[in-house]
Amino acid sequence: MDKIKVRAIFAIFVSGVFFFIAQSVWAATPKVHGFAEVAYGLKVSDDNTKRDNFNLFEQRLQLKTKYFFEDEGFLAQKNSSINFKGDFTVDEYFGGKTDFELREFNLSLTPYPFMDAKLGRQVLTWGTGDYLFINDMFPKDYESFYIGREDEYLKKPSDAVKVSFYPAPVNVNFVMLPYFTPNTIATGDRLSFFDSFQGGIAGVDSDRHIISPPFQLSNAEYALRLYRGIGSNEAAFYYFRGFDKMPGSYKDEAARQLYHERLDVYGASLQGPLCSGIGNLEFGYSNSREDSAGSDRLIENSMLKTMAGYTKDFGNDFKVGFQYLYEQRLDYGNYINNLLPGDFFRDEFHHVAASRITKFYKNQTVMMSLFTFYSPSDRDGYIRPLAGYDITDQWKVAFGANLPWGEDGSTEFGQMKKNKNVFVRFRYSF
C-alpha cells in the first residue's frame, strides 16, 4: 500500500504540472477547463477478483475545450466548432496503469439553417428513463457504474456521424456508427458476475470469451429518432439497426464463447407535464434478426419492453421520481421447448421498480440522494446512496455506496451481490 500511495501522490503532482503547462500553451487559444480527481472504493464483501480490499483507486485528470472558427472561411460561416474532452488516468487497481480516454473529439457545424451535423467522437443518449434504457442503444460502461465513478462515465463515447434536421412538422436525428462498440461489463477482474458456463458467480476463474463483430461496412449501425412537440409534451419515435450491446447469445458452447446478436429495435416515447410533475412513457420492441421465431436455444429471443415514470419537485430543493419497467421475452414456448437438459434458462418476464429521492441543503452546496432498484420477479435489487458537498466553487467531495443484493446469483442484481462497496471522490475543478 505504501508504494501505491507514493504513485498516487506522484500522479497528482504530475497532473498539476500538466495543468499549468496546458494553461500556458493554450493561453492565446481556447481556454482549457476540466478537473483533477482522486477516487477510492472500498470493498465491503468478499469476491474472487484481482484485489480483496478495493475495486476503485484512481487519479483522473480531465481536460476539455472548444474552438470556434472565427475567420472568413467556410467553417466560420457555418458556425463550426471543434470539441475536445479527454481523460488521463492512473489506475492503482492494475498496479498504477496509465491510460488516456478520448471522450469527445468532434466537429460541429450548421451547413444549412434547417440542419446540424456532428462528426467524430461523441457521447450519445436517447430515451426518457433514469438509469433504465429501452431505446437508448448506445454503449454504456456498467463497470464504472458499479464501482462508484461519476455518472458521466456510465455513457461511453462513440465514433459517429450525427445529423439533425428541423423541418416544420417533425425533427429528425440520424446517427451512423461505422463500427461496433460494446457495453463495458463485469469480466471477473474487477467485478464478479454470473458465468452461465460455470453455473455460478465467477471472478478471475472465469474463462468465457466474448466475440465482437469485426470492423466492416456490413456491420455499421444506424439509429433514427423522430420527435416533435404536442402542446407541452414531446413525442418521439425510434429505430435502431445494429447489434445488442450486451453479449447475450452463445457462439460456441464448447469454446465458452458469447457474442452480440443482430437487432432491429422499434420504439416510441411520450414525456410531458402530469399532475404538477413530469410523466414519461416509453415502449420498445427488440427484434432478434437471427432468430425471429425464438426457436434457437443459443440466441436471445425478441423482447418487448415498456416503462412508465413520474418525477415531481416538491419545492425546497426536494425531488422524488419513480419508474416501472416491464420486459417480456417473446416466443417463450419455442425457447423452452428447444432447451436441452442442464441448460441455463432465462425467465419470460422481468419487472423492475426504481426510485430516486434527491434533497439539497445549504444553498444547494450539500446534496443527498438515494437511488433504488427492486425487481419483484427476480427478488433482487440495488441501493445507491450518495452525498455530495461543494466545499468551494472548485473543491467538491462525494461519498456513496453500491449495494446490490439478491436471492439468486444468476439475476441482474443478484449476480453483483459480492461487489458491494463504499466510495469517496475528491475533485478540483478549473
Please, what are the domains in the chain? Answer: 1-32+42-109 (no CATH), 124-429 (2.40.160)
- CA torsion 270-271-273-274 (nearest 10°) is 60
Amino acid identity, position 258: L
- Tell me, what's the pLDDT at 312? 98
pLDDT of residue 7: 47
Q: What is the pLDDT along the chain (430 residues), one digit of tens a residue?
A: 454 554 444 445 444 444 444 444 444 467 999 999 999 999 998 788 999 899 999 999 999 999 999 876 888 888 899 999 999 999 999 999 999 999 999 999 999 999 999 999 999 999 999 999 999 999 999 999 999 999 999 999 999 999 999 988 999 999 999 999 999 999 999 999 999 999 999 999 999 999 999 999 999 999 999 999 999 999 999 999 999 999 999 999 999 999 999 999 999 999 999 999 999 999 999 999 999 999 999 999 999 999 999 999 999 999 999 999 999 999 999 999 999 998 999 999 999 999 999 999 999 999 999 999 999 999 999 999 999 999 999 999 999 999 999 999 999 999 999 999 999 999 999 9
pLDDT reported for residue 27:
45
SS3 99: strand
Around Cβ 21, how many Cβ atoms within 10 Å?
Answer: 10
**Dist. CA 175–CA 125, nearest whole Å:** 11
Residue with cell 402542446: 231
Q: What angle do CA 181, 154, 243 make, to 5 degrees?
A: 30
Question: For residues 320 and 21, what is the distance between their CA atoms, to the nearest angstrom?
Answer: 44
Residue identified by cell 420498445 is 284
For the entire predicted model, the pTM comes to 0.90
* Dist. CA 251–CA 296, nearest whole Å: 12
Residue type, 220: A
CA torsion angle 427 128 352 354 (round to 10): 50
Find out whether 56 and 147 touch, Cβ atoms under 8 Å. Answer: yes
Return d(Cα 98, Cα 89) in angstroms, integer: 6
Q: Whose grid coordinates read 427478488?
A: 379
Give yes or no for a contact between 390 and 408, defined as CB atoms under 8 angstroms apart. no
The amino acid occupying position 426 is F
Q: What pLDDT was estimated at residue 47?
A: 81
Q: Residue type at 31?
A: K
For residue 18, the model assigns a pLDDT of 43
What is d(CA 293, CA 251) in angstroms, rounded to the nearest whole number? 18
- CB contact at 8 A, 390 and 407: no
- 421-429 and 33-43 beta bridge pairing: antiparallel
pLDDT of residue 212: 96
The DSSP element (H or E) to which 161 belongs, if any, is strand 157-165
- CA separation for the pair 194, 206 (Å, rounded): 10
Cα angle: 293, vertex 182, 40; to 5 degrees: 135
